[in-house]
Chain A
Amino acid sequence: MPHTSGQPTDSGKERNGSTDTFRAPGISGGESVPLAVPHPTRHLWSRHPWLWFILPAIIGYAILFIYPTARAFYLSFFDWSGVGPIGDFVGLKNFQRLLTNDRFWNAATNSAKLFLAIFILQNTVSLGLALLLNRKTRMTHVYRTIIFLPVVISAVATGIIWVLMLDPQIGVINPVLEDIGLGSLKRGWQSDPAWAMKTVYLVQFWQWNGMAVVLYLAGLQNVPDELLQAARVDGANRFRAFRDVTFPMLAPAFTIVTVLAFILIFRAFDLVYVLTGPQGAPGGYTHIIGVLIYGDAFGTSGFSTQPRLSYAIAEGVTLFVFLAGASGLLIKALGKRKEAIA
């Protein structure tokens, strides 16, 4: 094929020792004209100029995420308190220690319980609220705002408010129960092992309910009215219409709500830390994995504690691997469900 652009190609280029040469089209034999051929890397940037646009983001991502993550993996194999020179290489000892540590498994179990509780509440209460708010009334926007409000309140502020309300001595919840004739329900909400974790479920759900409601609302608004009308024409009552038409159509929202809840709960820290403290009071019954990692990394009080940063990093790495793997499986499983419905 004749070469007309004047640019070097494989057909018009030949090696002459270490120097690239260019033979003009139509010229046979004779002289070769030396030419500086673009370096392969430079050629890549020339052919794909859009790479320049994403370069800052790639650099930022590498500096702020990839490098710290790789560094965390590296440090988890050492014995290091967090200050001074990095200590001895200990291989997998930190991982071995945490996997045989009751406190780690207790926190992991509590995190799993918290996720399960939030999963159930989001797919019952939040979904129910979304169905109610999907109706068009004069007050719909007001209700939506009220329900979403806790999401925008700082988790720390939320925690402090609830701690004060639940306090058995200065809180308002027990006196209110007393005043409305439900004094028998008064209890140490946060100090009673039987109720402390349930209190955490409630407060965590109170804060994130609005997010699930909004996601489900968005899903509900994508359910075509024609389908619901057709179901009703076919004699389906409200429940059947919801079960067989609306709910299947909510599959994408269900996936998002579930995966988000999974990730948010397993890396939850601030709200639970404020609510039940660095040791998951009482007696570790509310200790979750995020709080455990923070305590091991930076100590559990303002007094002199012995930090175990590399051990805490190993806990973080374990959580990272678990979340990445489990989230992938979750998305895959829920994706199959979506495909089946489609």
Chain B
Amino acid sequence: MPEWNDRVNVVFSRRDLLKGAGAAGTAIAVGNLHFGAAGAQENVTLTIWTNHPEWLGPLNSLLSAFSATTPHVAFELTGVPGPDYFAKLQTALAGEQVSDIVGLVEGYLLSQGPAAFPIKDLTGIVDPNLLIDSARTQVEIDGSVWAVPLASYTVGLAVQNPIVAENNITLPTTWDELKATCQTLVDAGVTPLILGGKDGVHTFFIYAGLVSTILGPEGFEELRAGTRKLTDPDLLEAAQLLKDLQPYYNEGFEATDYVTAKALFAQGLGAMMVAGTADFTGFKQENPDADLGFIPWPGKEVGLHSTNTGMELLYAVNNTMSAEKQDAAGQFVAWLATAEAQTIVAESIALPINNQVTELSDPIKAGTLEVRDRDVIVWYDVPETANTLTAVTEVSGQLWTGDITPEEFAQYVQDNLAGPAS
């Protein structure tokens, strides 16, 4: 059918297609330049993600406070549920589709290095002297500042005050007291400890907390340096206590997920639960009437209590966008470190990372700061122990089923402190 063939050749010749595509591409490029230039002079809208959708309200207030003084900057805030955030961030980074203000997960910047991310050097824009030490060590690398944490959080034990009062419990300060308290509560028909053991995250925080009571901040530096090991006899006791507390966890805790465990605790179905500052917002959302308290991890002896402190998302500036947007994002990140911003953070989100904001109106947050006198950084925030969360989550379930001993559990975590042993 020569006519048909001719027609196809005429309509779809390669040269014609290329010419058409080139013309269309040029038109689009010109159009973008035109509208981009016009838009930048007017307003700038920055995209930003959070891994705490329950904070959307407070975060919008924080962003509005910035926009009030910088009216040409607006924000497009997206909430991504915590368990999905890491996958979204990683995929977006690989696909070069990350948000304008990049929310890096704590520890990620140190373990991967700034060069792994499309972020702007904020040295000279952000004042690192405003930051508390644990925040500063996360974002200042080789003298350059790369980000500012939104907030900090401290992990210990959340307590249901009414249950404590009803059962005349004295809050435990030592391991022996903790076990005795748990037994008293069991005898009274109360679940002493709520644990979501399904994904192993709660287990990690309990284990890290108990080990931290032995190590303290100095001992943790020895663990980082490799002069202490999780298989040292005194540290093995922490793994053993983790296992010994098994009868006191909620029924079916092995298959209870993180969120369900939080809901069970908020509803008063257990007396104590491992929790960080950020969890309290969720507890209150689940049960606005919840009357809660916070205590540090009891130590093996009196005075050896401990807490673990980490950072919420580290906000950096995407360096692939226009100069105007980078400037606006830089202004915001610098502002985030100020006392003005961190006062808002402390009132409605979590603990501040500005070293001048120390007076907190929220009683739980204020109480947290009071008991944070023997604090160890959250383990996965530093490269030497960055893999401990992954390692614990991989084998914690086997500790509960009895397939491995506490010694084998500690050995596995030790072998994988900074990455897979093999």
Interface residues on B, range: 35 or more
**B84 A300 Cβ-Cβ under 8 A:** no
Asked if A235 lies at the interface with its beta carbon under 8 angstroms from chain B, I say no
A193 at the interface (CB under 8 A from B): yes
Q: In the bound complex, how far is the Cα of B398 from the Cα of A285, in angstroms?
A: 9
Report how far A305 CA is from B170 CA in the complex, Å. Answer: 36
CB distance from A197 to the nearest CB of B (A): 12
If the complex has contacts A191-B253, A277-B198, are A49 and B397 also in contact, measured as CB distance less than 8 A?
no
Instruction: For B14, give the chain A residue with the smallest CB separation.
Output: A42
User: With a CB–CB cut-off of 8 A, which chain B residues contact A300?
Assistant: 199-200, 390, 393-394
Q: Bound complex: CA of A282 vs CA of B251, how far in Å?
A: 13
- A239 proximal to B (CB < 8 A): no
CB under 8 Å from chain A, chain B span 1-25? 1, 4-5, 8-9, 12
Query: In the bound complex, do residue A301 and residue B393 qualify as a contact, i.e. CB atoms below 8 Å apart?
Result: yes
B87 CB contacts on chain A under 8 angstroms: 294, 297-299
Residues of chain A within 8 A (CB-CB) of B106 are: 304
B400 and A302 form a contact (CB under 8 A): no
Question: Contact at A83–B90, with CB atoms within 8 Å?
Answer: yes
Q: Does A101 have its Cβ within 8 Å of any Cβ on chain B?
A: yes
Known A-B contacts A97-B422, A304-B107; the reply to A169 vs B403 at CB < 8 A is no
Smallest beta-carbon distance A304→chain B, Å: 4
Cβ–Cβ contact B5 & A188, under 8 A: no
Q: A84-B116, A300-B390, A306-B387 are in contact. Are A279 and B200 (CB under 8 A)?
A: yes
| C-alpha spacing A261/B197, complex, angstroms | 31
Interchain CB contact (< 8 A) of B8 among A46, A190, A309: A46
Instruction: Mark contacts of A275-297 with chain B using CB atoms, 8 A cut-off: 1 yes-contact digit, 0 otherwise.
Output: 01111111111000000001001
Chain A residues, CB < 8 A from B375: none
Are the C-beta atoms of A103 and B394 separated by less than 8 Å?
yes
User: Is A307 positioned at the interface, with any CB of B under 8 Å from its CB?
Assistant: yes
| A170 surroundings in chain B (CB, below 8 A) | 264
Contact with B along A295-327 (1 / 0, CB 8 A): 001111111111111000000000000000000
- Give the residues in chain B near A278, CB-CB below 8 Å: 199, 393
Interface size on A, residues (CB 8 A): 49
Closest to A199 in B: B255
CB neighbours (8 Å) of B254 from chain A are 188, 190-191, 281-283
Q: What is the number of contacts between chain A and chain B, taking CB atoms within 8 Å?
A: 163
Contact mask for chain B residues 351-374; partner A; CB cutoff 8 A; 1 contact, 0 none: 000000000000000000000000
Cα A30 to Cα B147 in complex, Å, equals 83
In the assembled complex, the Cα of A113 lies from the Cα of B111 at a distance in Å of 38
Q: Are B105 and A303 in contact (CB under 8 A)?
A: yes
Report if B108 contacts A (CB, 8 A). Answer: yes
Chain B residue numbers with a CB within 8 Å of A302 are 51, 81-86
CA of A168 to CA of B197 in the docked complex: distance in angstroms? 14
Question: With the chains together, A278 CA to B390 CA distance in Å?
Answer: 11
In whole angstroms, how far apart are the Cα atoms of A276 and B260 in the complex? Answer: 13
**Is B414 an interface residue, CB under 8 A from the partner?**
no
Interface residues of A in 51-103 (CB under 8 A from B): 52, 81-85, 97, 100-101, 103
Residues of B within 8 A of A301 (CB): 82-83, 86, 199-201, 258, 389, 393
Q: How far is the CB of A216 from chain B (nearest CB, A)?
A: 33
**Distance between Cα atoms of A82 and B394 in the complex (Å):** 20
B29 within 8 A of A: no
Residues in B whose Cβ lies below 8 Å from that of A303: 82, 86, 105, 201, 380, 389
A156 vs B90: C-alpha distance in the bound complex, in angstroms? 22
CA distance A45 to B10 in the complex (A): 12
Q: Does B164 contact A (CB under 8 A)?
A: no
Q: Is the CB of A305 within 8 A of B380?
A: yes
Q: Is the CB of B255 within 8 A of A169?
A: no
Give bound CA distance, A170 to B263, whole Å: 11
B258: chain A residues at CB < 8 Å are 301
Counting from the closest, the 10 A-B pairs by CB-CB distance are A84-B116, A302-B82, A283-B397, A190-B255, A283-B401, A298-B87, A168-B252, A282-B254, A277-B198, A191-B254
Residues of A within 8 A of B (CB): 42, 45-47, 49, 52, 81-85, 97, 100-101, 103, 163, 167-170, 188, 190-191, 193, 196, 276-285, 294, 297-309
With A285-B397, A302-B82, A304-B107 already in contact, 17 other A-B pairs whose C-beta atoms are closer than 8 Å? A42-B9, A82-B93, A169-B252, A188-B254, A191-B255, A196-B255, A280-B397, A281-B254, A283-B397, A283-B400, A283-B403, A294-B87, A298-B90, A302-B86, A304-B111, A305-B380, A305-B389
Interchain Cβ contacts under 8 Å between A and B, 20 examples: A46-B8, A83-B112, A83-B116, A83-B117, A84-B112, A163-B257, A163-B260, A167-B256, A168-B252, A169-B252, A190-B254, A196-B255, A281-B255, A283-B254, A301-B199, A301-B258, A302-B84, A303-B86, A304-B381, A305-B389
